[in-house]
Structure 1
Amino acid sequence: MSLIGVKSYLAKFGLDNDIIEVNDSSATVHDAAISLNTDEDRIAKSLSFLVGDDVVVIVVSGRSKIDNHKYKAFFHKKAKMIPFDDVERLTSHPVGGVCPFDLPENVQVYLDNSLKKYDTVFPACGSPNSAIEISIDNLEKTSNYKSWIDVTTKIDN
């Protein structure tokens, strides 16, 4: 199970005991915010894309969406999300549990600037009912990210 791998991975940073498991699904931003008693924008959703043959995970704030023009300007390709049925095979995490931790070596992680306004955020931890409250500094240390990028726009209510 993916959660077990993430726990083992985060143990290397002394963060495995900080993982929160909830009874209900936290697979959507709305559900996660309710389960974790936080603002939707502090949910760090991990979006998975194919950029040519490369697998890319972009971690963005919960109330953000990909801005196609910004995405194309950065990656020089049109945004193409990984098909639902291929997500777990390519990221090692199920849909709703994709996170920037314990990913296959070939997966590139980027952190979106939309996260920078918060001291802590809540990414998933490899299952649709797990998360961790993590500082931005620790997110940088644990995610093996390539760079900070600006590829989102805020979602209007």
Structure 2
Amino acid sequence: MAIEKVRQHLAQWHVEHKIQELEESSATVELAAQALGCEPERIAKTLSFLVDGKAILIVAAGDAKIDNTKYKALFGTKAKMLAKEDVEEKIGHEVGGVCPFGVNEDVSIYLDESLKRFTTVFPACGSSNSAIEVTVSELETYTPYKEWVDVCKGWQP
């Protein structure tokens, strides 16, 4: 089960006990915000894309949307999300629980600038009813990310 992979991953920092398993679904930004009692923009959504045949993840604020121009400038291709049926195989988590923790080794992870405006954010933890509250610094520590990127729009004041 993917949440167990996430637990094992987070155990390296002794924070696996911080994972919240919720009674209700947290599979979308709106559902997660409602279940956690926080603003939707503080949900750290993890989006799955295909670049040159390889899976990548972009972790962004709940109110951010991919800016196709910025995305293409950075990755050299149009933003193409992974097909729902390919997500679990390529990432290691099912849709609704995709997160930057405990993913398949060949997946590149990027953190979007939209997250930096918050003290804490809530990424999923491998299932459609889990999350963890982390600081942005902790997110950096717990995530084997490649780099911070600026590929989103709609979140700036």
TM over 0.5: yes
Cα shift readout 1:104-149 (whole Å, capped 9, x = no counterpart): 1100000000000001100000000000000111100111100000
Cα shift readout 1:33-64 (whole Å, capped 9, x = no counterpart): 01000000000000000001221000000011
1:129 maps to 129
1:151 maps to 151
Query: What are the residue-to-residue correspondences of 1:33-112 with 2, within 5 Å?
Result: 33-112=33-112
SS at match of 2:88: helix
1:8 maps to 8
- CA contact 2:93–2:127 (8 Å) conserved in 1: yes
1:115 maps to 115
The separation in 2 between residues aligned to 1:13 and 1:115, in whole angstroms, is 21
SS at match of 2:108: strand
CA RMSD, aligned part only?
1.1
Q: What amino acid sits opposite 1:94 in the alignment?
A: E
Q: Which residues of structure 2 form unaligned runs of 5+?
A: none
The separation in 2 between residues aligned to 1:42 and 1:145, in whole angstroms, is 19
User: How many corresponding residue pairs?
Assistant: 156
The separation in 1 between residues aligned to 2:14 and 2:135, in whole angstroms, is 13
- CA contact 2:88–2:95 (8 Å) conserved in 1: yes
The separation in 1 between residues aligned to 2:104 and 2:53, in whole angstroms, is 14
- CA contact 2:64–2:153 (8 Å) conserved in 1: yes
Question: Displacement, 1:155?
Answer: 6.1
How high is the TM-score relative to the length of structure 1?
A: 0.97
SS at match of 2:93: coil
Q: What amino acid sits opposite 1:80 in the alignment?
A: K
The separation in 2 between residues aligned to 1:43 and 1:15, in whole angstroms, is 19
2:23 maps to 23
The separation in 2 between residues aligned to 1:80 and 1:96, in whole angstroms, is 18
**Identical-residue share of aligned pairs (%):** 50
